[in-house]
Amino acid sequence: MKHRVALVILSLSALSLSCTGETGPQGPRGAGGDPGADGSAGDPGDNGDPGVDGEDGRNPLLVGAGLQLEILDGSIDTDGQARVLYRITDSNGRPLDLDGIFTEGAVSPSFLLASLAQNSAGEALQYTSYITNGAGQAATQSNGSNVEMGIGDGVYEYSFANPISVTASDRTHTIGIQASRDYEGQRYVANQTFDFVPDGSDVTVTRDVVTTEGCNTCHNPLSLHGGRRRDIKLCVMCHQPQSIDGDSGNTVDFKVMIHKIHMGEELPSVQAGGDYEIIGFNNSVHNYNTVAFPQDIRSCDTCHTGSQGDVWKTRPTRDTCRSCHDLTSFETVVPAGEVAHPPGPMANDNDCTNIGCHRATGGLAGIVDMHMFLGINPAKPNFQVTIDEVRNTAPGQAPQVDITVTVNGVGQDILSTPLNRLRFTVAGPTTDYQEYFQTTAGAADLTAIDAAAGKFTYQFPAGSPIPAGASGSYAVSLEARLVSALGNIDAFNPVVYVPVTDVAAVTRRAVVDQAGCDTCHQSLSEHGGSRQNTEYCIMCHNSQNTNDERVANVEGTTTFSNSVDFKVMIHKIHSGESLTQPYVLGGFPTPNAGNPVGSPINFGELRFPGDRRDCGTCHIAGSFSLPLANGVQASRVETFTCTEDPAADADSFCNTRTSVESFVPPTSAVCTSCHDTPSTAAHAEIMTTSSGLESCATCHGPGSAFDIAEYHRLSP
């Protein structure tokens, strides 16, 4: 304790010196003061270098936010005593005091220790934890002893509470630490792992199947168990076969649990009416029935990004296969509700590959072959359509569009071999789209420029001209579909901008980052695959478009038609289960006499995998701050009331209805698409003048009291 008192005095002295601009006292340790290998304090160093501006590493006024964790060493001695040497610092590398006495914010670490199994080929298998709870599940501990190794350097040694009975001293062992620190109202978290071999030999075998970076492409960031678990290597130390959820009976083995969670609504057991649940802390029920993976679930490489990620192809197991195909039984007596594994019972995993059924490729059912789909098939033709030139774009004129069609870089003659679809879309103005029209081109509507090179001209029909009242600039795009031996292939939608009354074309402002969408969605592909480019999506999903054609149309009812304006619709869809008001859109097929309700899709169950405050996940930098760009339009909504006499016909489909439209100002439309409580809508309405002017930027603009950049700031 004498050392600690002296340290406080030095810190106060340093503070007074730094105020006068003088050099601070000598630091408590020199450059050579590394901890000793045997856990002692080590060499204090030759010279105590002067502190920078009086900083000696322990001044609470100089230590800032953040938490960094570094594991320096780990060991298990012959008596079974496990130890870990680690360093804790703030985000700038300044040492922290574990107890929070000499630096603000105590650090709370928990420790894990597990051995890594390996097969006869020396390949990493799964962990078994030495630390377990009363139920035998893998757990963390913090009831051992922490000893400060040096004065003020943030280095501590933790001795595990109980002796470890080492299972294989020549195999890789891993120590994990999860730690948190509360500082000025924020909680900072750090995870770290350290591999070692108890007998002192070099580490040659590690596990690297799924990576944190791979998970964070969607989860930005992965943050579980109250936000303290963020590193996949830490996760797999506990989530392995020895851990069972005692309430549901489900394993929490990583390879099973993660597959099941991401399968969600596609699990055969869920589709059969069952539930997939894990009971968490304080008996909290986590039901994953409604999880929808944002791309084809067969995209195994999306998550298996580690250096050993290919194990899904080469090392099949019954547990892994049943994690997705969870009603397939390998038992001799098949449980009720399950189906027998077609080749019959399997007593172990060896025969999965040995008898030639589930090799990586080939055999009776090669794993890669069975997980292949058009989107990732290397044999998929490269089908492209470009718009080369657009003429006749003045008000009232019918445009002419020159296109080039290629397959694998070679021109495609679409007169002799027509496309399955060739549809053109025109929308404008580009300040903010308010109208669009489409035409479909058949072979008879095309004129060859050079058929062998795939070059053609399409003449819009006289009945589909640029509107007479159009002004500014418009956008022209298309949808094209090729029928191939592998199936229908849609081209990426090209978008070009043309002047209508402008001297030169003005492009539409860029808001959404296509690459951001594809990070989670792999390849954005909506409406049957024909809509792939967000720059194209917004041409139809504009401020004036509602869900009118697909909303339920039942006699004797009044129905609200939601906006499908992109800036509203996408926010609402991705808010999903966080919405307080339902967001329902009619799908396909549309309402008809046989089904007046149509095909409603309720997005209230959608789960966004990341932090919705991170606008940059989807947006181009700077595109979501206030005030919005000039010209952004209010979003239109409609209310329909059926006026047909129910006795007029035998069905309940409404043939006549009236419509009342209203408009939500642009900033209000965006903000209330996520913050959708009635009180927030009322606030936005109060802050809007009768002429439609919004005052949102006054309080929520850059540097204001409630700057959205601050209120969307992510947790550390």
Quick one: CA torsion of 615, 617, 622, 625, rounded to 10 degrees? -10
Peptide bond between residue 60 and the one before it cis (omega within 30 degrees of 0) = no
Res. 104: pLDDT tops 90: yes
Average pLDDT over residues 349-354: 85
With a pLDDT cut of 90, the percent of the chain lying above it is: 84
CATH number at residue 464: 2.60.40.1930
Average pLDDT over residues 65-69: 97
What integer pLDDT is reported at residue 51 of this predicted model?
38
Give the distance, in angstroms, between the CA of residue 214 and the centroid of all CA atoms in the same chain. 10
The answer to whether 536 and 491 have CB atoms below 8 angstroms apart is no
Res. 380: pLDDT tops 60: yes
Res. 687: pLDDT tops 70: yes
Q: How confident is the model at residue 6 (pLDDT cuts 50, 70, 90)?
A: very low
What integer pLDDT is reported at residue 21 of this predicted model?
33
The answer on 22 and 103 residing in a single domain is: no
Q: Which of 86-90, 281-285, 446-450 has the lowest mean pLDDT?
A: 281-285
Q: How confident is the model at residue 134 (pLDDT cuts 50, 70, 90)?
A: confident
What is the distance between the alpha carbons of residues 381 and 398, in angstroms, rounded to a whole number? 33
Q: How confident is the model at residue 363 (pLDDT cuts 50, 70, 90)?
A: confident
* Higher per-residue pLDDT: 714 or 239: 239
What integer pLDDT is reported at residue 58 of this predicted model?
56
What integer pLDDT is reported at residue 37 of this predicted model?
35
The answer on 430 and 574 residing in a single domain is: no
The order of strands in the sheet holding 155-159 is: 68-76, 82-89, 155-159, 145-148
The answer on 391 and 365 residing in a single domain is: no
Q: What is the pLDDT of residues 469-488, one digit of tens each?
A: 999 999 999 999 999 999 99
What is the distance between the alpha carbons of residues 409 and 416, in angstroms, rounded to a whole number? 18
Give the distance, in angstroms, between the CA of residue 438 and the centroid of all CA atoms in the same chain. 34
What integer pLDDT is reported at residue 355 of this predicted model?
78
The answer on 706 and 558 residing in a single domain is: yes
Of 574, 584, 582, 566, nearest in space to 613 by CA: 574
Q: How confident is the model at residue 79 (pLDDT cuts 50, 70, 90)?
A: very high
Which burial class, exposed, middle or buried, applies to 223 when counting CB atoms under 10 A from its CB (0-12, 13-18, 19+)? middle
Average pLDDT over residues 570-583: 96
The answer to whether 228 and 111 have CB atoms below 8 angstroms apart is no
Residue 237 lies in a domain: no
Could you please report the per-residue DSSP string of 473-536?
Answer: EEEEEEEEEEEETTEEEEPP--EEEEESSSSS--PPPP-B-HHHHHHHHSS--BGGGTB--HHH
Count structural domains, the chain. 5
Q: What is the pLDDT of residues 510-526, one digit of tens each?
A: 999 899 899 999 999 99
Average pLDDT over residues 574-590: 95
Give the distance, in angstroms, between the CA of residue 677 and the centroid of all CA atoms in the same chain. 25
- The amino acid present at 462, given as its one-letter code, is A
Res. 303: pLDDT tops 60: yes
Residue 226 lies in a domain: no
Q: What are phi and psi of 526, to 5 degrees?
A: -110, 170
What is the distance between the alpha carbons of residues 160 and 110, in angstroms, rounded to a whole number? 10
Q: How far is CA 390 from CA 333, 444, 469, 497, in A?
A: 68, 19, 19, 9
The answer to whether 638 and 659 have CB atoms below 8 angstroms apart is yes
Of 317, 283, 474, nearest in space to 396 by CA: 474
The answer on 388 and 365 residing in a single domain is: no
The answer on 566 and 707 residing in a single domain is: yes
What integer pLDDT is reported at residue 46 of this predicted model?
35
Res. 45: pLDDT tops 80: no
What's the pTM value of the predicted model, to 2 decimals? 0.87
What integer pLDDT is reported at residue 27 of this predicted model?
34
The structure tokens listed for 115 are 């051995």
Give the distance, in angstroms, between the CA of residue 293 and the centroid of all CA atoms in the same chain. 10
**232 DSSP 8-state letter:** H
Of 143, 205, 142, nearest in space to 170 by CA: 205
What is the distance between the alpha carbons of residues 205 and 654, in angstroms, rounded to a whole number? 68
The answer on 350 and 278 residing in a single domain is: yes
Bridge partner list, 636 = 663
Residue 195 lies in a domain: yes
The answer on 79 and 185 residing in a single domain is: yes
What integer pLDDT is reported at residue 59 of this predicted model?
67
What integer pLDDT is reported at residue 16 of this predicted model?
30
Average pLDDT over residues 431-444: 94
Q: What are phi and psi of 12, to 5 degrees?
A: -65, -40
Residue 223 lies in a domain: no
Average pLDDT taken over every residue of the chain = 90
Res. 24: pLDDT tops 50: no
Residue 57 lies in a domain: no
- The amino acid present at 116, given as its one-letter code, is L
Res. 612: pLDDT tops 50: yes
Average pLDDT over residues 224-249: 94
What integer pLDDT is reported at residue 634 of this predicted model?
97
The answer on 188 and 260 residing in a single domain is: no
Q: How confident is the model at residue 226 (pLDDT cuts 50, 70, 90)?
A: confident
What is the distance between the alpha carbons of residues 217 and 516, in angstroms, rounded to a whole number? 9
Residue 236 lies in a domain: no
Axis-axis angle for helices 514-521, 212-219 (nearest 10): 120
What is the distance between the alpha carbons of residues 256 and 463, in angstroms, rounded to a whole number? 58
Residue 245 lies in a domain: no
First to last CA, the chain: 34
CATH number at residue 199: 2.60.40.10
* Higher per-residue pLDDT: 31 or 220: 220
Q: What are phi and psi of 418, to 5 degrees?
A: -60, 150
Quick one: CA torsion of 630, 673, 612, 187, rounded to 10 degrees? 100
Res. 232: pLDDT tops 60: yes
* Number of other residues whose CB lies within 10 A of the CB of residue 471: 13
The answer on 72 and 31 residing in a single domain is: no
Contacts with 434 (C-beta within 8 Å, 6 or more apart), sequence order:
428, 542, 543, 544, 633
Res. 41: pLDDT tops 70: no
- The amino acid present at 363, given as its one-letter code, is G
The answer to whether 258 and 265 have CB atoms below 8 angstroms apart is no
Q: What is the pLDDT of residues 152-193, one digit of tens each?
A: 899 999 999 999 999 999 999 999 999 999 999 999 999 999
Average pLDDT over residues 389-401: 97
What integer pLDDT is reported at residue 463 of this predicted model?
87
The answer on 195 and 67 residing in a single domain is: yes
With a pLDDT cut of 70, the percent of the chain lying above it is: 91
The answer on 549 and 427 residing in a single domain is: no
Of 27, 11, 113, 108, nearest in space to 60 by CA: 11
Residue 146 lies in a domain: yes
* Number of other residues whose CB lies within 10 A of the CB of residue 144: 16
Full residue range of the structural domain in which residue 312 is found: 254-372
The structure tokens listed for 24 are 């601070």
